[in-house]
Structures are given as structure tokens and as C-alpha cells.
Chains A and B, each alone.
Chain A
Amino acid sequence: MEEKIIKIKAFLAKFFRKHELQEDEDIFALGFVNSLFAMQLVMFLEKEFGIVIDNKDLDLNNFRTIKAIVAFVDHKLNLAS
């Protein structure tokens, strides 16, 4: 869990450079994200955690906060195992 949070935070820090993102903070409400970010996030999660994100996963709530992303990754990993 902790390791996942560190990795996700490090990735997100590239987009939220002047803002210390909290684990339950709404990423989309901050207004920094654009359509390019969405695609980079999908690629990052797929590569970093070895998951495949498909049409069933396209719920913004899966990606809204760091906590939600970690829960989503755990869910995908559980499904795969």
C-alpha cells in the first residue's frame, strides 16, 4: 500500500508541482489536469503495476484521489490473481 502511494505520488508530482497533493484530495477539482494527463495516468498505472485498464474501468471515481487510485489498482491486481 505504502509503496504504491509513493509511486503514484511521484508520478502525480510532475503535474502538481507547486502543490503537495493529499491522499484524499480530489485531483480533478484542482483543475490542473487535461486530456493528456488522463492518457498518461492510464499508461503509468498499466506499466507500473502491470494492470490493463479497459472500458469497464472508465469511471472517474477510480482516479479521483490517490486513495481511490490505490484501491482501484488493488482491485485490478486481485482480479488478475
Chain B
Amino acid sequence: MKIEFTPEQLKYKEEFRIFVDTVIIPEADRNDRDEHMCTEIYKKMSEKGYMGSMIPRRYGGLEMDMITLGLLNEEFGRGCSSARSLLTVHGMVALAINKWCVQEQKDYWLPKMASGKVIGAFGLTEPNVGSDAKSVETTAVLDGDYYILNGRKKWITMGQIADLFLIFARCEDKLTAFLVERKSPGFSTKPINGLMGARASMIAEVIMENCRIPKENIVGAVGTGLSHVAMSSLDYGRYTVACGCVGLAQACLVESLRYARKRRQFGQALRKNQLIQKIITEMVVNIEAARLLCLNAGYLKEIGDPDSIMAIWNAKYFASKMAVQVASDAVQIHGANGCCRDYPVERYYRDAKINEIIEGTTQMHEVMIATNAFRSYV
């Protein structure tokens, strides 16, 4: 077994690092404070081709391999969880189109998404439906050449700015996926403010009141919305969230190292304190463990191995819990300073917790991982 990046992956890794250091990080605090992602961010992401990072080259994307996509999301996670979430949901929609739409839809949407002219958002969660995705209440009824959608979606990342929504609705009483354009009649969004973390994710509530879309906008087939479309999108989403957590925790570690080197108490630098050293050690080892879980999952996903699905559940579970712990420890090392927004660990701590909720809560991961263990190991 050999774990080694290719020269191309290493080149990308350095490119991502520079981009995040020079474009993402300088705006991250302001975006968090304003609860708004400045347009310059996604304009520059588009210019670099990152909005098409996961889209095949034939549609104008960069068609990065899964390891490179993991590195991209790790670096974005290091800089700004909200910017990483843009990559995540946009990719979830693009990959659903690439896998489950008819060729005409692919030809129409994917070049626009690859260039960043169209931003995608994923619409599964509802006011009354979170983990229990099978119970979606939004409905879709075929009416001649159109589907008529009625219902509400909540906590939709990038919902304020997205042009194209992947909406899950009950059709013939079966969960089904649809592409819904913002300009569709009967479609509107309402910004949601006051979030704890990832505050520049442009979260919105989506309202569909007799929203009319062409019948060709169905994704997959009636009844395959959860089993095929949502599951494959969420698989990618989980992978990118897990990688983003590694980056976020890495940022916590670096800030903690800097602070512990500079800050003096009891006549010496914090770094000399063995209790601080213990915290740092646990950060280092847990970050590396999460990174290896992500690399393993990314490799399996790249080669199309069905075991990649559980590997991604494992990676996301561990990485999101790890990020919360590491961020908490980073605040602890910073003491009162860590509780103030003058220090980035305050934002990291708030951002970290969100990762235990999105793309499947920690508890849903525990159900899935344990169920799989009972099925697989004895």
C-alpha cells in the first residue's frame, strides 16, 4: 500500500493553499460578521474554475479526481466554512445533473454551472422534516407538460443567491427530485439570518406556491429521489464536509500553536505547560486520523468502490466530532481571548458545530455506522 499524492495533486494543493490564503481568508471574518458572502469570492472561485471542479471536462469543468476535490475542500474549510459550503452544495446539484438527468439537461446546465454563471442549491430539508427525509411534505403533481410544486424548504445553503435548486418532493406519493429555476412562477426565497456558524452560507427558506416547472425537469425517475439522487448527492456532500472539517481543525491547530508560543503565563510561554502540550498532541493526532479517513474514503470513491459509502459516513462522523473538539480546545488554549471575535478561533468554534448537523447529524451517522457493523462484522 502506498499513500502518496501525485505531482498534479501536490500542484493543486499548493494552488488551493495560495488561493485560500489570498482570497478566502482575508474576507472570512467580514463575511461572518455581515452574514453575507461578498460576490467577489464566488467570482474569483469561478475564474479559477473551482465552481466546475467536480464537473466533467466535456462540459467545461476541471473534472478533478476525488482526492484533489478533498484537498480543495480541506483548504476551503481551513479558510472559511461558508465558502466551503458553496463548493459542497453547488457540487451536489451539478453531480446529480451529471448522473441522473437526460443529456439535454446536462448540455444546458453543466457548462453554466462549471463557469459559475449558475449557482446550485440542494433543497431537501423542510420546516417539519430534517433527518427523517422520507417524510418530505412538499408535493409535485403532473399537470399536462408541467409539474406543479407546493411546499417549503428550510435551511437551504446558498438559497439566497442560487439560480437552480434541486428540490425533493412527493410525487405519486414517492420521493422524487426536480430541477427548479429561481425564475419559475410561484417560486420565492426568504433569507434566514442569526445563524450560529457558517454565517455567510446565504441560508434561505424556499417557498413554492403552485410553482410550475417543465415536466422535463424531473431528475431520475418518480420514486428515485431519495434512493438514487439524494443519496449520491449527499455522499459527495458528506465527503466534502468531512474534508472541510480537517481544514477547519488544522486552522484551529495553527492558531493554537501561534498563541501558545507567544502567550506567556507564570513566567513562561504557554507551550512549555505540559497540559497545553497534551491538548496540542491530541489535536495533531486526531486531525491526522481524520485526514487519513478522508483520504481512504476519497480513494474508494475515486475507484467507484461501493464500500466508499460507509467509508465516507465514517470519515464525516469522525471528522465533524473531531473538529468540534479541536475548536473547543483551541478556544480553551486562547482563554478569554478565544471568546472574542478578535481571534479567529471564536469563529472556528461556532463554524465547527454546524458540521455535526449538516449532511446527516452525528446521531444519524451512529445509526448508519452501527447498523452496518452488525451487518458486516459478525
A37 to B223, CA, bound (A): 15
Sample of 8 A–B contacts (CB below 8 Å): A35-B231, A39-B228, A43-B306, A43-B309, A47-B303, A58-B100, A58-B221, A59-B221
A14 at the interface (CB under 8 A from B): yes
Chain A's closest residue to B134 (CB) is A35
B308 at the interface (CB under 8 A from A): yes
Give the interface centre of A35, A38, A40 by most chain B CB atoms within 10 Å: A35
- A63 → chain B, closest Cβ, in Å? 10
Q: What is B's interface to A at a CB cutoff of 8 Å?
A: 99-102, 219-221, 223-224, 226-228, 230-232, 235, 303-306, 308-309, 368, 375-376
- A55 near B102 (CB under 8 angstroms)? yes
Given A55-B102, A55-B220, A58-B220, are A39 and B231 also a contact pair (CB < 8 Å)?
Answer: yes
Given A55-B221, A59-B221, are A36 and B231 also a contact pair (CB < 8 Å)?
Answer: yes
Chain A's closest residue to B224 (CB) is A58
Contact with B along A38-76 (1 / 0, CB 8 A): 111111101100000011001110000000000000000
- A30 → chain B, closest Cβ, in Å? 14
- A14 near B375 (CB under 8 angstroms)? yes
- A43 near B228 (CB under 8 angstroms)? no
Contacts of A54 in B (CB 8 A): 99-100
- B235 near A39 (CB under 8 angstroms)? yes
A36 to B133, CA, bound (A): 13
Q: Which of B100, B224, B304, B376 contacts A43 (CB 8 A)?
A: B304
A17 at the interface (CB under 8 A from B): yes
Contacts of B230 in A (CB 8 A): 35
Given A55-B101, A58-B220, are A40 and B228 also a contact pair (CB < 8 Å)?
Answer: no
Known: A36-B309, A39-B228, A47-B303. 17 other contacts (CB 8 A): A11-B306, A14-B376, A17-B375, A38-B224, A38-B231, A39-B231, A39-B232, A39-B235, A39-B309, A40-B306, A41-B306, A43-B305, A47-B305, A55-B219, A55-B220, A58-B220, A58-B228
Give the interface centre of B101, B227, B303 by most chain A CB atoms within 10 Å: B227
- B306 near A44 (CB under 8 angstroms)? yes
Chain B's closest residue to A33 (CB) is B227
- B59 → chain A, closest Cβ, in Å? 15
Contacts of B219 in A (CB 8 A): 55
Contacts of A35 in B (CB 8 A): 226-227, 230-231
- A50 → chain B, closest Cβ, in Å? 10
